[in-house]
Structure formats: C-alpha cells, structure tokens
C-alpha cells in the first residue's frame, strides 16, 4: 500500500520532492492510476497536489495567461479567456477524453505525461507556450519544445515540479483550428492531430503560419518548411497542397495497433487541406 502525502503549499511540496525523489505526483490521477495498475500498483509514495494553491487558478496579465499546472481541463473549458482568446486550445480540450476525465485531469498532467498523442500539446506548441518549473533552487522557464524530450520524457530536474503553463495571448490570427483523427467518435486517442494558426494580411495572404502535429513523431512536430510555403499566399487548396508535401516529409510516425506510419503520414498532410474551407468562411 502506498504512503500518501498531501502538502499544503509549494514550499512543503518541494521539501517532499527533495526527501522522496521516487514519489509520484498526482493531480487528477487520470493517467497515473491506469499506468500504475498496468505495472502492478502505485509507487510506494504518492504526493497529492490538490491542496497546493500555487498550482491552481488561471490569471492574466503582461500579455499572457498563466494556467496553474493542476487546473483541470473542465476549468479551462469553462473560462471565457480560453474559449475566446485561445480557441485552438479550447477545441482540443473539448474533444479530450470524456467529461469525467476532463473534470479530473489537469493540463500539467497532460504535459508531463509527454505522450505524442497528448491533445493539448499541439495547440500549446502553436501558441508558443512556456512552462514554469520550480525547485528548491528557484524558478525557471522553458519552451514546451525544450521541456518535452520524447515519449514519457521531460526536462524536469531532480526535485522540480511543473507549476504553471504560460501562454502568450495571440494577436491577429483569424484562424485557430485543432482537429484529430481517431478510430472512434468519442474517447479517441489521436491517430494524427493538427493544430494550426494563420494570420492573414489585408489582402487575405498568409503573414504568419504556425502548424504542429501530434501522434506524428516521438514528440509534437513543427514543420518550418510547411509554414514558410504558405507565407505570402492565400490559403487555397493549391498552396496547402504544397505545404502538405513538406509536412509529409517532416513527420516521423510509427506503425502501431491504431495505424500504419504510411497512413499517418498521408493524414498529416490531408489535415492541412481542411484549412482551405475554414479560411474562406
């Protein structure tokens, strides 16, 4: 049976992290509990995060939204600052698992699980989010690309915890879109997903493009060549097909039980083509 610890603040949490380096952190437990069952049980020590106020809440200021790592997906969906200001993230949250899991699961847990199929990760990449990490030696920030090193691997140092996600408020992007392809209509793990943001100039041409794919490599895949292929062009099918060719060359999917690498590569490009219709509305 596990020993359960419930720190009441960040200082107490960091002290526990230093004393119990092998302990598991648990916010909602929607990933930790199933994984632990598959491995034969929870770790010897579990540290609960519910009563650490520094990890909760959503605040805005200085041009960004600071999202506590223990904020639930449901809380984010209910916050109008997310729905109105970060629709690409809201779209991903709305199709993440089930209402029960959204009520319990946290954004920090989705990030630290570091699954290539994590629904919030492609939107956070195109939003150029950063993570705030706290340890007994202080606080540091990393970009999401620097933080997630591969499947299940992050740049958390010894004794560190993820405190918050820092999301700059995007300005001038007329299109923010997230879509995933799965094997069923609900509770689907992404076979491939795409987060896209386009900023158009006064003539309807792409002034900035941000594109990120999930389930298409060991971590989220950005494709600068595909983004560059759209610059200065209207987001027509012709332009998007050119960008899709770069995307298919950039992704590094695998064969698994849900899909072949070849299928994932084709879908990664095809998802881009949906933007033609969306941008014309």
In whole angstroms, what is the distance from residue 33 CA to residue 142 CA? 27
* Alpha-carbon gap, residue 195 to 66, rounded angstroms: 20
Return the residue matching tokens 């049976």: 1
Mean pLDDT of 21-46: 84
Average pLDDT of the residues in 252-265: 94
Residue 89 · residue 109 · CB < 8 Å: no
CA distance 265 to 263: 5
Asked if 60 and 80 count as a contact pair (C-beta separation under 8 A), the reply is no
List 270's β-bridge partners, or say none. none
φ and ψ of 179, to 5 deg: -150, 140
The rounded distance, in Å, linking the Cα atoms of 244 and 116 is 20
**pLDDT averaged over the chain?**
94
- The helix (H) or strand (E) run that includes residue 14 is helix 10-19
Q: How does residue 143 score in pLDDT terms, banded at 50, 70 and 90? A: very high
Residue owning tokens 């223990």:
70
Mean pLDDT of 53-64: 95
**Which band of pLDDT confidence, cut at 50, 70 and 90, is reported for residue 185?**
low
Question: 């050119």: which residue's tokens?
Answer: 242
For residue 47, give every residue at least 6 positions away whose Cβ sits within 8 Å of its Cβ, in sequence order, or none: 5, 6, 7, 13, 16, 17, 20, 23, 24, 25, 26
The correct answer on CATH 2.30.29.30 for the domain covering 3-168 is no
Q: Where are the domains of the chain?
A: 3-168, 175-279
Look at residue 35 in the predicted model and tell me its pLDDT. 76
Separation of CA 25 from chain center: 19
Domain 175-279, CATH: 3.30.390.50
- In Å, how far are 33, 148, 220, 223 from 217, measured between CA atoms? 25, 12, 7, 12
- What pTM does this model have? 0.94
Terminus-to-terminus CA distance in the chain, angstroms? 56
């Amino acid at each position: 049976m596990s020993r359960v610890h419930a720190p009441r603040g960040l200082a107490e949490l960091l002290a526990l992290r230093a004393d119990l380096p092998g302990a598991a952190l648990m916010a909602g437990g929607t990933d930790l509990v199933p994984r632990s069952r598959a491995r034969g049980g929870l770790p010897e020590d579990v540290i609960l995060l519910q009563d650490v106020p520094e990890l909760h809440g959503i605040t805005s200021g200085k041009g960004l939204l600071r999202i506590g790592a223990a904020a639930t997906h449901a809380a984010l969906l209910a916050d109008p600052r997310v729905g109105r200001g970060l629709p690409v993230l809201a779209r991903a949250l709305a199709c993440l698992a089930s209402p029960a899991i959204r009520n319990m699961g946290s954004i920090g847990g989705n990030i630290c699980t570091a699954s290539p199929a994590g629904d919030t990760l492609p939107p956070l990449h195109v939003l150029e989010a950063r993570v705030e990490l706290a340890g007994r030696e202080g606080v540091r920030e990393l970009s999401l690309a620097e933080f997630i090193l591969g499947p299940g691997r992050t740049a958390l140092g010894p004794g560190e915890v993820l405190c918050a996600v820092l999301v700059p408020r995007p300005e001038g992007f007329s299109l923010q879109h997230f879509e995933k392809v799965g094997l069923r209509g609900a509770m689907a793990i992404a076979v491939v997903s795409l987060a896209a943001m386009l900023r158009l100039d006064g003539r309807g041409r792409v002034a900035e493009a941000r594109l990120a794919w999930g389930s298409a490599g060991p971590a989220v895949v950005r494709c600068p060549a595909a983004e560059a292929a759209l610059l200065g062009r209207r987001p027509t099918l012709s332009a998007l097909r050119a960008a899709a060719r770069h995307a298919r060359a950039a992704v590094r999917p695998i064969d698994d039980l849900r899909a072949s690498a070849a299928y994932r590569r084709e879908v990664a490009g095809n998802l881009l083509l949906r933007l033609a219709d969306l941008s014309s509305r």
